[in-house]
Structure 1
Amino acid sequence: MTTDPPPEPPEHPLGAGESAAPAPTGPAGGTRGTRAAFRRWRRTRPFWATVWTALGGFVILFLPMAPLGKILQVGVGGIAGMAGGVVLMAMALLMLFLPGQRHTAGVIAVIAGVASFPLSNLGGLFAGMVLSVLGGSMAFAWLPEKPAPGRGFPGHGLPRRGRTADRAPGDSGPGGPSVPPVSVRSGSA
């Protein structure tokens, strides 16, 4: 019985003790740059509201959907459920690509989500209704991120007009001299 000696490990081209630096994956820093760009883009719109609204529309539209022949037999009820899911998916896209219209899209998403309760199998067995109401309310409440201090925000650090707490008595600030409030009465004196 003969035994062969174990094979020797291949020699590393850099030699012993040296380690290879990771190669860059792309001109913008690879995955890190792509993730940072996506994060910046995501923060300029109601992203999570869009996700919840679209998921609610998906549940209402697809999960309880029967084959087309049965939906046509059911009639308006089946078509109304499909229409609610389509409206929710459209509102999700509107929130994502036109964040300035988030209030309108959020209100319509909440209304369509609540309307799906009687129209589409109890709102997609409650899950679709809850997700669409959550997403619509998040879209309505979302505010764009404010610029960081020192990045050219006009008037940053200056007191607002009418705020007397930051001024000394008798000091005229950006709103002009401070004047005590005047009450206006009606009738004769």
Structure 2
Amino acid sequence: MAGNPLAALNRARLAWRRWRRTRPFWAAIWTALGGLVILFLPLAPLGQLLHVGIGGISGMAGGAILMALALLMLVLPGQRYTAGVIAVIVGVASFPLTNLGGFFVGMFLAILGGSMAVGWMPQKPSGRRRLFGRRPAAGGAGGTGGEDEADGPDGVDAAVVAVRTAVAREAVEGGAVG
């Protein structure tokens, strides 16, 4: 046997979870569902679609645009603001242009997904914060290096971190804290 199938399944689940958290996943899902509702409600045979007119054609165009925007949110999460704003605009425009925006359901889902995309922020790395903001030197004790090693956490200069650490140690050793 190549390995434990449960371990492989667990690795795949964790990889999916990691990928999903780096994108506005739920915003894309709601936007795509709104696009599906708006797209498929006016679908009918071509003879009936020609009688429906602008409502059927704009419904298909609006639904296709929303589904393309949902895909854009997943593939290019950096473009989430643009895609989210356009999704909200298309969702609101579907109200007068299609059959009440997919009977309000498609319009609501498109607005929900677009607003979630605008408000989504990438997850920050889950690193542990050290006491007093210190971290070990990259090159061992007294690590020498370039500009990257001179900066402490959050871009604070290493000298500032050293002064903060010395002040905190002095306060603890001197009995001021305690």
Fold match, TM over 0.5?
A: yes
**Which residue pairs with 1:104 in the alignment?**
82
Aligned-residue sequence identity (percent) comes to: 65
Structure 1 residues without counterparts, runs of 5 or longer? 1-22, 161-166, 168-189
What value does the CA root-mean-square deviation take over the aligned residues? 2.5
Contact conserved, 2:38 with 2:106, CA < 8 A, in 1?
Answer: yes
Q: Counterpart amino acid of 1:25?
A: P
User: Is residue 66 from structure 1 mapped to residue 44 from structure 2 by the alignment?
Assistant: yes
More helix per residue:
2
Q: Which has the larger radius of gyration?
A: 1
Does 2:153 match 1:156? Answer: yes
Gaps of 5+ in 2: 130-134, 136-147, 158-163, 165-178
Indicate the residue corresponding to 2:53 in structure 1.
Answer: 75
Matched, 1:38 2:13: no
Equivalent in the alignment of 1:171: none
TM-superposed deviation, 1:81: 1.2
Distance 1:157 1:114 in 2: 41
User: Kindly tell me: are residues 48 and 155 of structure 1, through their superposed partners in 2, closer, same or farther at Cα, counting changes over 3 Å?
Assistant: farther
Say if 2:86 is the partner of 1:89: no
Letter in 1 for 2:41: L
Q: Post-superposition shift, 1:157?
A: 5.6
Structure 1, residues 113-154: CA drift from partner, whole Å, max 9, x if none? 000001111000000000000000000000001112259997
Work out whether residues 42 and 60 of structure 2, in 8 Å CA contact, stay in contact via their aligned partners in 1: no
TM-superposed deviation, 1:155: 4.1
What letter corresponds to residue 135 of structure 1 in structure 2? G
| 8 Å contact from structure 2 (residues 54, 97) kept in 1 | no
Amino acid across the alignment from 2:4 = P
TM-score, normalised relative to structure 2: 0.70
